[in-house]
């Protein structure tokens, strides 16, 4: 295990917040981590915080404890049954590199998640999703090391309790208790594209591709084009993607809202539940493109809060509170941050 003291977290978070960690500890293998937990963890500054690429984190102050980083990067096919494969990827691997690799091998199911920043380990924590696909549907198991005693533990798909941007690893009981060292994905050897989500078919047709015969590689390129046209690049403008989750309301609440706002957009979830795009609520509340100090609501995608240069985590927190208050005052709906505040 490699230990570094008093290290800036600037290269470790996509918001571009300049804070320092007391210690950064990186491990190269499961054995390396398990051994360190059993022998030297007691001497490390606490609390422990495992991060990936920091693309869903907002640091609000210097971190007094130890930041853990996985450097485990590999892909291994574990088994094949009929036209399905189980493939294991190391938790420190960049998720998009894994998706590109999977497509090159003819393992399908993750194309719509192309170019979401972050690592394989965090994909399971966050249950990342985009364009009608959630990674949890393709996760077979999540392999971990306990941070209290160094033992191995595998969570099956059902034990992960995946739901919208949520998993057991975010729950009060399990948060921060385990380091994910690898994730097993169940992928398909037949390509069944999922094209029925916001703008995919339109982009396919503008690219002159026949949707009936699109390849996985072409779909990946289409998804990347759509994302590039809508989302700010964190290398240019610090951000953590969607800052807020889309609120889910019951049908009665939704119908009450439609009497005042007949054009309110929605995604039907069930007979009684409706998801409302938080971006629309924020835009209607007048926040699109507005700033607070060095933090701002993005001028194209209002779901994204950005660091316009040198913002502190607290400035972004204050902006987040102002946006939430406005949305609540106008619609009576509470929007919750997707980003992890540290
Ligand atoms: C421009 C942009 C676009 C985005 N678009 C999307 C999108 O379309 N859909 C979507 O779902 N998300 C999106 N995100 C959010 C982000 O990419 C995901 O949440 C991603 O999974 C975070 O990965 P990470 O490696 O950066 O994790 P981090 O942000 O570093 O950590 C996220 C959480 O996972 C935990 N964690 C990380 N690694 C481990 C590990 N090995 N073991 C245990 N716990 C761990 C951390 O403690 C933290 O709680 C976007 C972000 C950006 C910047």
184 and 79 in a single domain? The answer is yes
List the residue whose alpha carbon is closest to atom 43 of ligand 1: 179
270 and 335 in a single domain? The answer is yes
The verdict on residue 223 lying in a domain is no
Q: Which of 160, 241, 245 should be mutated for ligand 1, with most atoms under 8 A from CB?
A: 241
The verdict on residue 321 lying in a domain is yes
112 and 161 in a single domain? The answer is yes
The verdict on residue 219 lying in a domain is no
The last residue of one of the domains, among 47, 70, 93, is: 70
Q: What pLDDT is attached to residue 198?
A: 72
- Which pTM value belongs to this model? 0.95
50 and 79 in a single domain? The answer is no
166 and 258 in a single domain? The answer is no
CATH code, domain with 54: 3.30.43.10
List the residue whose alpha carbon is closest to atom 2 of ligand 1: 241
64 and 84 in a single domain? The answer is no
The verdict on residue 303 lying in a domain is yes
81 and 174 in a single domain? The answer is yes
Q: What pLDDT is attached to residue 150?
A: 97
328 and 275 in a single domain? The answer is yes
Q: Is the dihedral of CA 14, 18, 22, 26 positive or negative?
A: positive
CATH code, domain with 120: 3.30.465.10
The last residue of one of the domains, among 70, 95, 122, is: 70
Q: Which residue has the tokens 């985590």?
A: 313
Q: What pLDDT is attached to residue 15?
A: 98
Cβ atoms of residues 26 and 2 within 8 Å: yes
* Residue 32 neighbours by CB under 8 Å, 6+ apart: 1
* Residue 238 neighbours by CB under 8 Å, 6+ apart: 14, 15, 16, 17, 306, 307, 311
CATH code, domain with 311: 3.90.78.10
92 and 151 in a single domain? The answer is yes
Cα–ligand 1 centroid distance for 89 (angstroms) = 16
Q: What pLDDT is attached to residue 311?
A: 96
Flag residues of the chain having pLDDT under 50.
none
- Atom number in ligand 1 closest to CA 113: 8
The total number of structural domains in the chain stands at 3
The verdict on residue 48 lying in a domain is yes
The last residue of one of the domains, among 188, 213, 230, is: 188
- 278: containing domain: 238-341
pLDDT digits (tens, 9 = 90+) for 250-261: 999 999 999 999
pLDDT digits (tens, 9 = 90+) for 187-223: 999 999 999 987 899 999 999 999 999 999 999 999 9
Any bridge partners for residue 244, and if so which?
A: 337
59 and 137 in a single domain? The answer is no
The verdict on residue 109 lying in a domain is yes
105 and 57 in a single domain? The answer is no
11 and 95 in a single domain? The answer is no
Q: What pLDDT is attached to residue 337?
A: 96
The secondary structure of the chain, three-state, reads CEEEEEEECHHHCCCCCCCEEEEEEEECCHHHHHHHHHHCHHHCCCCEEEECCCCCEECCCCEEEEEEEECCCCEEEEEEECCEEEEEEECCCEHHHHHHHHHHHCCECCHHHCCCCCEHHHHHHHCCEECCEEHHHHEEEEEEEECCCCCEEEEECHHHCCECCECHHHCCCCCCCEEEEEEEEEEECCCCCCCCCCCHHHHHHHCCCCHHHCCHHHHHHHHHHHHHHHCCCCCCCEEEEECECCCEEEHHHHHHHHHHCCCCCCEECCCCEEECCHHHHHHHCCCCCCEECCEEECCCCCCEEEECCCCCHHHHHHHHHHHHHHHHHHHCCCCCECCEEC
Q: Which residue has the tokens 């399971």?
A: 124
Q: What pLDDT is attached to residue 197?
A: 84
Residues having CB closer than 6 A to ligand 1 are 14, 50-57, 70, 91, 116-119, 121-123, 125-126, 128-130, 169, 179-180, 231, 234, 239-241, 340
Residue 32 tokens read as 């390396």
The verdict on residue 221 lying in a domain is no
The verdict on residue 27 lying in a domain is yes
């Amino acid at each position: 295990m490699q230990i570094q003291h008093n290290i800036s977290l600037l290269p470790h978070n996509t918001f571009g917040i300049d804070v320092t960690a007391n210690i950064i500890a990186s491990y190269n293998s499961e054995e390396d981590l398990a051994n360190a937990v059993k022998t030297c963890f007691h001497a490390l500054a606490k609390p422990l915080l495992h991060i990936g690429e920091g693309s869903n984190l907002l640091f609000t102050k210097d971190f007094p404890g130890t930041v853990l980083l996985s450097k485990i990067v590999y892909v291994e096919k574990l088994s094949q049954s009929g036209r399905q494969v189980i493939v294991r990827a190391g938790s420190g691997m960049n998720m998009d590199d894994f998706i590109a690799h999977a497509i090159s091998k003819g393992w399908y199911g993750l194309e719509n998640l192309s170019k979401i920043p972050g690592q394989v380990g965090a994909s399971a924590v966050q249950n990342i999703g985009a364009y009608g696909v959630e990674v949890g549907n393709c996760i077979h198991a999540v392999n971990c090391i306990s941070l209290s005693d160094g033992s191995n533990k595998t969570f099956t798909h059902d034990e992960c309790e995946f739901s919208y941007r949520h998993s057991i690893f975010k729950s009060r009981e399990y948060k921060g208790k385990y380091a994910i060292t690898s994730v097993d994905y169940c992928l398909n050897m037949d390509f069944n594209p999922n094209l029925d989500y916001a703008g995919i078919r339109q982009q396919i047709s503008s690219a002159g591709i026949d949707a009936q015969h699109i390849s996985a590689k072409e779909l990946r390129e289409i998804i990347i084009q759509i994302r590039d046209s809508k989302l700010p690049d964190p290398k240019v403008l610090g951000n953590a993607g969607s800052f807020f989750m889309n609120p889910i309301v019951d049908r009665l609440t939704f119908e009450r809202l439609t009497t005042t706002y007949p054009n309110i957009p929605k995604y039907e979830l069930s007979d009684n539940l409706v998801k409302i795009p938080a971006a629309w609520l924020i835009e209607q509340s007048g926040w699109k493109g507005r700033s607070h100090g060095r933090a701002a609501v993005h001028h194209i995608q209002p779901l994204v809060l950005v660091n316009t240069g040198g913002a502190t985590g607290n400035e972004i927190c204050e902006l987040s509170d102002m946006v939430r208050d406005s949305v609540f005052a106008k619609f009576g709906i509470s929007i919750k941050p997707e980003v992890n505040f540290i």
